[in-house]
Chain A
Amino acid sequence: MKMRISVTIEDEDESAFTEPTIMEVSIPRVEAFTGPEVFDQVFEQYEREVLEARNGVVEEATEKYLSAVGKKNAVGVECTKRRSH
């Protein structure tokens, strides 16, 4: 079984600010939860994988977001310099 986590960052006008970040992670099948005695072990696999994926996907999306922030500001500085010359 897979969980797909997708992160999209959009401008106010709902246009894409960065390209979407998608991460897929394997999670235990529902049939694996055969009873209370295995619940903790099976759910631990789920939780660990999902937490890692969640952190990974947000990290990647944030990198893209901040790169875009940096790029925008760099353009702004260039313009200012040109004006001062």
Chain B
Amino acid sequence: MRWVKKTQSELNVQKGEAIERPKEYIIEAEVGQLEIDTFEITKGSRKIFSTKRDVFPETGPREHHKTVCFRELALFYPCDEPYRKSALKLNRALRRKKGQEVRVRTMANLVEREGEQIQAYVEKKAERILENHGWSSNGSIADQKKVVESIKEEEVILAQEKVCQMIEELNRGQEKEKHIDLEDVHETFEDPIAIKANISIDGVCCKKQKAKGRKKGSPAKEKREMVDNTVAHIQNKESKTYTAVSPTVSQMMTIVLAFLLSNGLLSEPGSLVFFTDGARDLRSAIQDMFRFLPFKIILDWYHLEKKCKDLLSMAINGKQIKSQLLHELLTWLWLGKVDRAMDLLRTVKEDTIKNKKELENLINYLCRNRSCIPCYALRKKLGLRVSSNQVEKANDVVVSNRQKHNGMSWSAEGSTSLATLTALRCNGEDRQWLLNCDIRFQFDAGAQKPAA
């Protein structure tokens, strides 16, 4: 089929009835709003040719087709600014005439639809990768042989001499009871230049849009509903990064596993380290999905410190006692001595306790996360990560900077779509998606020129 205006003689050759529809197909392009004549050839009731179907991409009724250059602007302006400002900016940049302006709602719908398409594509791609490597689409092992071929359980850890030397340096000048004992340190210390990947995962939420306005006199809701998104920040041993967004934790686990497999990271020797804020759903999801190989979960120091501060604040009376207790508690936790920290909390004098339940909560929290609390002091001395700050930054970049402002509320689809598009741009996958509707699922995807 050729993209040419058919002459009457050409139409006669086909011996069909030719219908010309002037300016029927509308294309939104960066060069302008283009109104194109279309042609149809029918034989009886059968449509044997239609430029709207056989040459141009099919569109819905009253829908305008959008070109790659137009989509590039209309999809990514709203990632930085509100829809209203983005529409103004777009209409100004394109010098759109009155009546041809791009509407705010059109942009929002475009973002939402494109975001959903990306999510569906990533999900499909992840499932395909998992199936090719011996997993079923839900992440359970389907073909043991293939799985074994795809993974290498070998860990690469730092030499014991180096660890001992650092322990010595840390212990120098410290009181005896605050000494780190190699025998008490149960965790291994991964070699940072030979890791499989460092993965930080976190949930981020923003206010949910109300389905309809509150009626006068109706009681206010107790708790505002929120829209949740899960963000993962994956870093390889060369410090290259990739950010993934998904609406649920379970979906995120599938994406992370597929990403690791497709980049061959699980078949490399080294440790797989997860950094989380201690959320129970995240921890159990990681444990469920990655039970086939050894991995580490490390509780982010900032969150541990904050949790202790918050719960102690509710549990203990007296500012001075509280800060003294907090200081001592954090000292033990920084050294990875969780038992000592819990003992300290158990021996708090009764008369200083304001709320016993909160104190018990803190003890339970430490007990629950004991396996994820390493010797932070030693990890830091060895130059290893103790924090999930990378994903916190990713949260800001893909969600919070745009979606968490006064008066803003979001639908679940709108929030996830916008975050998905922002992450797509961060990963340098935007051109590839716009041109070929494909996602490379690789570090530094933007560095490679998409095939046109």
**Would B1 and A35 count as touching, CB distance under 8 A?**
yes
Chain B residues with CB under 8 Å of A41's CB are: 68, 435-436, 452
* B60 on the A face (CB < 8 A): no
Q: Which B residues, 48 to 107, have Cβ-Cβ distances below 8 Å to chain A?
A: 53-58, 67-69
Q: Name the distance in Å between B182's Cβ and chain A's nearest Cβ.
A: 60
Which of the candidate stretches A14-22, A47-55, A64-72, A74-82 sits at the interface with the other chain?
A47-55
State which size class the interface on A falls in: 10 to 19
* B30 on the A face (CB < 8 A): yes
**Would A40 and B68 count as touching, CB distance under 8 A?**
yes
Instruction: Find the B residue at minimum CB distance from A48.
Output: B69
User: How far does the alpha carbon of A23 sit from the alpha carbon of B413 in the complex, in Å?
Assistant: 45
Chain B residues with CB under 8 Å of A30's CB are: 2-4
Chain A residues with CB under 8 Å of B57's CB are: 36, 39-40
Q: Name the distance in Å between B403's Cβ and chain A's nearest Cβ.
A: 29
* B120 on the A face (CB < 8 A): no
* A84 on the B face (CB < 8 A): no
Of A35, A40, A51, A54, the residue contacting B55 (CB under 8 A) is A35
* A73 on the B face (CB < 8 A): no
State which size class the interface on B falls in: 20 to 34
Of A31, A36, A48, the residue contacting B56 (CB under 8 A) is A36
User: How far does the alpha carbon of A50 sit from the alpha carbon of B32 in the complex, in Å?
Assistant: 12
* B31 on the A face (CB < 8 A): yes
Of A35, A45, A47, A54, the residue contacting B29 (CB under 8 A) is A47
User: How far does the alpha carbon of A37 sit from the alpha carbon of B29 in the complex, in Å?
Assistant: 17
**Would A36 and B69 count as touching, CB distance under 8 A?**
no
Instruction: Find the A residue at minimum CB distance from B431.
Output: A44
User: How far does the alpha carbon of A54 sit from the alpha carbon of B58 in the complex, in Å?
Assistant: 29
User: How far does the alpha carbon of A30 sit from the alpha carbon of B3 in the complex, in Å?
Assistant: 6
User: How far does the alpha carbon of A31 sit from the alpha carbon of B3 in the complex, in Å?
Assistant: 7
User: How far does the alpha carbon of A25 sit from the alpha carbon of B144 in the complex, in Å?
Assistant: 57
Instruction: Find the A residue at minimum CB distance from B66.
Output: A40
Instruction: Find the B residue at minimum CB distance from A31.
Output: B2
Of B1, B53, B68, the residue contacting A44 (CB under 8 A) is B68
**Would B58 and A36 count as touching, CB distance under 8 A?**
yes
User: How far does the alpha carbon of A34 sit from the alpha carbon of B53 in the complex, in Å?
Assistant: 12
Instruction: Find the A residue at minimum CB distance from B58.
Output: A36
**Would A36 and B30 count as touching, CB distance under 8 A?**
no
User: How far does the alpha carbon of A53 sit from the alpha carbon of B2 in the complex, in Å?
Assistant: 26
Instruction: Find the B residue at minimum CB distance from A37.
Output: B57
Given contacts A35-B55, A45-B452, contact A40 B435 (CB under 8 A): yes
**Would B1 and A47 count as touching, CB distance under 8 A?**
no
**Would B54 and A36 count as touching, CB distance under 8 A?**
yes
**Would B55 and A44 count as touching, CB distance under 8 A?**
no
Query: Could you give, for residues 419-452 of chain B, a 1 whenever the CB lies within 8 Å of some chain A CB and a 0 otherwise?
Result: 0000000000000001110000000000000001
Chain A residues with CB under 8 Å of B3's CB are: 30-31, 33
Chain B residues with CB under 8 Å of A40's CB are: 57, 67-68, 435
Can you report 22 A-B residue pairs in the complex whose CB atoms are below 8 A from each other? A31-B2, A31-B3, A34-B1, A35-B54, A36-B55, A36-B56, A36-B58, A40-B57, A40-B67, A40-B68, A41-B452, A43-B67, A44-B67, A44-B434, A44-B452, A47-B29, A47-B67, A47-B69, A50-B31, A51-B30, A51-B31, A54-B31
- Nearest 6 interchain pairs by C-beta: A33-B3, A44-B68, A36-B57, A47-B69, A30-B3, A40-B68
Which residue numbers of A lie inside 8 Å of B, CB to CB? 30-31, 33-36, 39-41, 43-45, 47-48, 50-51, 54
- Inter-chain pairs besides A36-B55, A43-B67, 19 sampled, C-beta below 8 Å: A30-B2, A30-B3, A31-B3, A33-B55, A35-B1, A35-B54, A36-B54, A39-B55, A39-B57, A40-B67, A41-B436, A41-B452, A44-B67, A44-B69, A44-B434, A48-B69, A50-B31, A51-B69, A54-B31
